[in-house]
Structure 1
Amino acid sequence: MIDSQLRRALQRPLEWGARTIDVTWVTPNRLTLVGMLLGLASAALAAFQLWVPALIAWLLSRVFDGLDGALARRRSKHGSDSEVGGFLDIVADFATYGATVVGVAIGAAAAFDAPWWPFLLVLFAYYLNGTTFLAFSSIAERTGRRIDDGRSLSFLGRIAEGAETIFVHSLWLILPWFAWQIALVWAAVVFASAVQRVALAVRILR
């Protein structure tokens, strides 16, 4: 919901960060992989109820997720743009989001006897959302209805986007004793977002 505003607010800090780390051995794809590994580490730390280290790893993974795109855009000005980066980025995001849901579910169940089913609902909602925007992106590209906002895929922005996901996953790690209740509300929000995306996609592609 606020991704476009957040990207504008973070554009200059990310450009500064990309300029700072723009050396030969640092590539956007390597940043993507480091971000994914940090996200997976966050999931593992949450599963062992190490909530503060999990939160730090999660936030660092999101920083790397922002820097890879900023560095890719900087490099593209010099003719080194790569579609592989966009592919790896979305795969890394899905892996990180899914793993962190599972990690929090395991940790919350062990520490606070939290039920599993709200986290399963979140995963199902993520599955629907991912299917919606990936299918739309593919068809929009083929039919000339691409939404160009500087990213590799055509994203249908609705109430649950990247910024909200970062916030909710952080909240789980800050308040793990309320994790399953947060998951239940978040699942409803993501389901509503999926319905919005379906309606918008049908209207654009019709």
Structure 2
Amino acid sequence: MSREGTVGIFSRDTRESYKWISDFLIGLSFVKDTKCFYITNKRSVKEDVKKCKFAILYHTKNRGRTNVTDVLDSLYHEELNDLFSALGKSNVIVIIDDLEDSSDQEKERIQLEQRSIKEKATGLFLFNIKDKFTDSNMERNLQEIEYLIRRSFQLIGFQTGTLAMGHCLKCMTVPGLLVIVYVSVCLYYNHNLIPW
């Protein structure tokens, strides 16, 4: 089963809690599929993560606390480790939703207390319960998430920075390529073979 272009959302909460994230991902042209995985104490994410290229670990403060990892009664310590082990740091992010405070100071506080988030995920994103659909912080977070997913998908199979050129060449017609070859040969000839 191909996992190219697939984003997985892993959570102990129901899909309704993070439907807004799924809707956002579906709107991204480079995301081919979004898969939702419900985490239980009896079910490991190790098999599910094999179906994804990028993972979002989603937690809502509606569960009471922001206890993702490294703290008493943390809900996602093993899952974060499994996602990191399978996909690497650059392909994992953590979202904490329904907060009263989504400031940069709160983000720093969480990362200090729960260090594994910063060590094993490429980003932590906090979303405010009050301003979720109007706040500029929301828009900024979504833009950064889009960038991280896009970057992740582009790095897969393209270890150099030539993705844009490769895409451009695929779109060109044969006459367009012939013009490029002709111009390149002329430039080479003028530069190297004609004594100035």
Give the structure-1-normalised TM-score. 0.29
> Relative to total residues, which structure has the larger helix share, 1 or 2?
1
> Relative to total residues, which structure has the larger strand share, 1 or 2?
2
Give the structure-2-normalised TM-score. 0.30
Higher relative contact order (CA 8 A, sep 6+): 1
Is the radius of gyration larger for structure 1 or structure 2? 2
